[in-house]
Structure 1
């Protein structure tokens, strides 16, 4: 009997689907647009856009002693200025345009924390060369979230 119930249900659902497809078809391109919209939303949430500010072809790892990087996800922007020090490490000065409680500079297992000043300014000293990511605890409209840059090379 169970098999008959299943086939009756399947036939009923097939007729319903056919009726809806005839009366109210899915708009052309809707599925592709929705997949693209979800993908873009995921990307903006997971990644920030990396823009090199200095020079059209500036590189983070190069012959210069300083680099300027800008990251944005459309809601929050972060500007980083990376400077080589005489000791051989780096100093990272940053500014954020959103209400941030704290900022973390992450390099593998190593993590440094800094407080964000009144005007969105923060800094890290003694930063080693290597893959780096900056994470900020942001408060927007009463909700806490994390803003995270993609990894970049110092």
Structure 2
């Protein structure tokens, strides 16, 4: 590559960094995703709703789905930059669930009706991982992983 080509590439790079820079957290987001290995990623849909007509509080309902099950999570504020995740798995079944946060993994489980709760969740990225089970109601052969979600 000659000096003129290097200068042209540097100019193009500078233009793209100015016009369409990568998100500041892109590298962290990619590393967060790559940490899991062989998994099935669920699809997600999100609906926001206010907790009350005159309230500053808000909740967010997120539904994650796969071929085997559906997970609905309601995210509500519990303090400054803190949240509570109330979740339900359908069909209702007791499963081991991990909550992956930016710097920690919390183990939890759903009850026989599929209900689970994670409290004191900090703002930032999170991801749910539902582990394989031999339960005849929902037989999972590999972990189901919700897409990385930001709260």
Bin the TM-score by the shorter chain. 0.5 to 0.7
**Paired residues of 2:95 and 2:114 also in contact (CA < 8 A):** no
> Among residues 73, 76, 80, which one is paired with 1:80 in the alignment?
73
TM-score, normalising length from structure 2?
Answer: 0.59
Distance, in Å, in 1 between the alignment partners of 2:124 and 2:146 is 15
TM-score, normalising length from structure 1?
Answer: 0.58
- After superposition, residues 6-17 of structure 1 pair within 5 angstroms as none
Tell me what 2:142 maps to: 145
Greater Rg over alpha carbons, structure: 1
Per-residue CA deviations over 1:43-86 (Å, capped at 9, x if unaligned) read: xx63211111346xxxxxxx862100000012211000000013
Tell me what 2:15 maps to: none
- After superposition, residues 27-66 of structure 1 pair within 5 angstroms as 46-54=40-48, 65-66=58-59
**Paired residues of 1:100 and 1:137 also in contact (CA < 8 A):** no
Q: CA deviation at 1:110?
A: 0.8
**Paired residues of 2:130 and 2:143 also in contact (CA < 8 A):** yes
Distance, in Å, in 1 between the alignment partners of 2:126 and 2:140 is 26
In structure 2, stretches of 5+ residues that fail to align are 1-38, 50-55
Higher relative contact order (CA 8 A, sep 6+): 2
Greater helix content = 1
Instruction: Identify the range of structure 1 (139-148 vs 104-113) with the bigger mean alpha-carbon deviation.
Output: 139-148
Aligned length, in residue pairs: 103
Cα RMSD after superposing both structures: 2.3
Distance, in Å, in 2 between the alignment partners of 1:108 and 1:86 is 18
